[in-house]
């Protein structure tokens, strides 16, 4: 219908010879776009896309996860969009996401091509913004695993790398990057924030390369110290096997993935934990009482304490559920033609598992829209994880760092609440407002850590 209206309006205009050529060119582009993006029979329903840009204008850029969840009320739990030139199917509710990611795991395991990534080879109780403090602490855990050492919080190279990573993640969801995904060749010729994104990633990769080069200097394959040493050993073992995919460029990308996935999601979840503890001081007090009962004050909590702390464990899981840090999961792509709930999904279609619809599924949670640790406690007060708790996604492409993240969250959270009472700045009301980016994070806030 949109295509017909455009053609009719163009046909009503008187054209010169140059205008006729331009008209024919526009018609050619419109027809090409229409033919290239025709929906196959029995394809999931969805809003009509505009030529070239698809349904980008249909989405609320500030809260797309909520918008996509509401769209299911009109189009059903499986519906389609076209984002630029990428055909996309959105899957909602726990039952549908489970069928997609687990029951049909072999089909929905691909990753969509990313044209952007192709270009990338002390406080005394005073209120302060905890973002960088938490980001540094969590990132240093990844550094210990990857580089075999941690960095001081005053190390300028380390701080610069974290700043670049934060900037890159913000730029990743800007309209400029969306335009780049649709028109990569044109955007390559134009200045703009998308060039800043490439610059950020180049500098981060340069930091990683310096660390890799340092490892080469005293690398002993028989005695690996960290992830980089292990990867270098695999490069050496498989240097004649090109299909194995072990090479230095791959090492840089893998380390970059570890930092982005292992730092941003965990630190953002901890920020949400701070927000909810300030918002609900009575819950914070119950957690502290359980910590003192099980751990006491003379030692730090350890991971073996978790089974004895069901309420605390329930609060952490409720933070993950309500924080909804990766609301639309990471997109996947079908490896082959498939039928999902009667709908035909062609090979190469992007799939968005809408985790928001799962974590707030009214059929799966006692109180889906309220912060309530009882969502993870049974009648006897024991911790119990519902099947719809999948913030790390599910199936073959679920987050490989889930175990590490769960340990980090428990140890950081309990250590903070053992030592401090968390409170908002002055008499300000704690806001649950969020900003949408690579992760769903709380808007900047200040917090007071008062020693207990």
In a domain, 339, yes or no: no
For residues 358 and 69, what is the distance between their CA atoms, to the nearest angstrom? 10
In a domain, 105, yes or no: no
In a domain, 150, yes or no: yes
What pLDDT, on a 0 to 100 scale, did the predictor assign at position 15? 45
In a domain, 104, yes or no: no
% residues pLDDT > 90 (the chain):
24
pLDDT bin (cut points 50, 70, 90) of residue 271 is: very high
Per DSSP, the three-state class of 351 is strand
What pLDDT, on a 0 to 100 scale, did the predictor assign at position 28? 58
- Give the angle 355-357-363 at the CA atoms, nearest 5°: 125
Give the DSSP H or E segment for 14.
Answer: none
Mean pLDDT of 154-168: 86
Two tokens, residue 410: 């428990």
What pLDDT, on a 0 to 100 scale, did the predictor assign at position 4? 52
Mean pLDDT of 167-183: 77
Q: At what angle do helices 131-146 and 248-259 cross, to 10 degrees?
A: 140
What pLDDT, on a 0 to 100 scale, did the predictor assign at position 145? 86
What pLDDT, on a 0 to 100 scale, did the predictor assign at position 360? 95
Average pLDDT, the chain: 83
DSSP state of 35: H
What pLDDT, on a 0 to 100 scale, did the predictor assign at position 218? 85
pLDDT bin (cut points 50, 70, 90) of residue 36 is: low
DSSP state of 111: -
Tens of pLDDT, residue by residue over 48-107, are 777 766 777 677 777 888 888 888 888 888 888 887 667 888 888 888 888 888 877 777
Tens of pLDDT, residue by residue over 359-393, are 999 999 999 999 999 999 999 999 999 999 988 88
Whether residue 439 is predicted with pLDDT greater than 80 in this model: the reply is yes
Give the DSSP H or E segment for 422.
Answer: strand 420-424
Whether residue 357 is predicted with pLDDT greater than 60 in this model: the reply is yes
Cβ neighbors of 294 (< 8 A, separation 6 or more) are: 305, 308, 309
Give the chain's count of helices (H) and strands (E).
Answer: 16, 10
The answer to whether 358 touches 388, Cβ cutoff 8 Å, is: yes
Query: In which domain, by residue range, is 241 found?
Result: 123-324+360-451
In a domain, 153, yes or no: yes
pLDDT bin (cut points 50, 70, 90) of residue 309 is: very high
In a domain, 232, yes or no: yes
CATH number of the domain bearing residue 307: 1.10.630.10
Indicate if the alpha-carbon torsion angle 390, 395, 399, 403 is positive or negative. Answer: positive
Phi and psi angles of residue 280, each rounded to the nearest 5 degrees, phi first = -125, 75
In a domain, 228, yes or no: yes
Count of structural domains, the chain: 1
Give the predicted TM-score (pTM) of the model: 0.77
Whether residue 405 is predicted with pLDDT greater than 50 in this model: the reply is yes
Rg over CA atoms, the chain: 25
Q: How many CB atoms lie within 10 A of CB 130?
A: 21
Phi and psi angles of residue 118, each rounded to the nearest 5 degrees, phi first = -60, -30
In a domain, 62, yes or no: no
What pLDDT, on a 0 to 100 scale, did the predictor assign at position 359? 95
């Amino acid at each position: 219908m949109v295509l017909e209206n455009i053609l009719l309006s163009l046909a009503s205009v008187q054209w010169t010879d140059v205008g006729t050529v331009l008209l024919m060119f526009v018609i050619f582009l419109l027809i090409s776009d229409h033919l290239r993006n025709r929906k196959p029979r029995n394809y999931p329903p969805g809003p009509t896309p505009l030529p070239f840009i698809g349904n980008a204008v249909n989405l609320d850029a500030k809260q797309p996860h909520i918008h996509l969840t509401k769209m299911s009320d009109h189009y059903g739990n499986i519906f389609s969009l076209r984002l630029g030139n990428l055909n996309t199917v959105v899957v909602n509710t726990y039952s549908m996401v489970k069928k997609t990611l687990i029951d049909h795991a072999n089909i929905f395991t691909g990753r969509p091509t990313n044209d952007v990534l192709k270009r990338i080879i002390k406080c005394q109780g005073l209120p302060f913004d905890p973002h960088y403090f938490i980001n540094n602490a969590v990132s240093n855990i990844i550094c210990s695993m990857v580089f075999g050492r941690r960095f001081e919080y005053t190390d300028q190279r380390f701080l610069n790398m974290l700043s670049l990573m934060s900037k890159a993640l913000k730029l990743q969801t800007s309209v400029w990057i969306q335009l780049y995904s649709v028109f990569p060749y044109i955007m390559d010729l134009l200045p703009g924030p998308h060039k800043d994104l490439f610059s950020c990633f180049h500098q981060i990769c340069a930091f990683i390369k310096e660390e890799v080069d340092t490892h080469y200097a005293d690398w002993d394959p028989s005695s690996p110290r960290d992830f980089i040493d292990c990867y270098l050993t695999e490069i050496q073992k498989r240097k004649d096997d090109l299909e194995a995919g072990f090479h230095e460029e791959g090492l840089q990308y893998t380390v970059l993935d570890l930092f982005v996935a292992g730092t941003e999601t965990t630190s953002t979840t901890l920020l949400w934990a701070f927000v909810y503890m300030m918002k609900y001081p009575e819950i914070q007090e119950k957690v502290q009482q359980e910590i003192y009962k099980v751990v006491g004050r003379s030692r730090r909590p350890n991971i073996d304490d978790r089974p004895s702390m069901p309420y605390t464990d329930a609060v952490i899981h409720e933070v993950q559920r309500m924080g909804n840090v990766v609301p639309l999961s990471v997109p996947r792509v079908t490896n082959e033609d498939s039928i999902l709930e009667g709908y035909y999904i062609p090979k190469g279609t992007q799939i968005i598992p809408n985790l928001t619809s799962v974590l707030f599924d009214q059929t799966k949670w006692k109180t889906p829209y309220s912060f309530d640790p009882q969502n993870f406690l049974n009648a006897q007060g024991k911790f119990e994880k519902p099947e719809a708790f999948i913030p790390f996604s599910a199936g073959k492409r679920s987050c490989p760092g889930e175990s590490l993240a769960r340990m980090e969250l428990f140890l950081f959270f309990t250590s903070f609440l053992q030592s401090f009472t968390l409170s908002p700045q002055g008499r300000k009301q704690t806001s649950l407002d969020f900003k949408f980016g690579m992760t769903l994070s709380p808007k900047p806030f200040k917090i007071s850590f008062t020693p207990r």
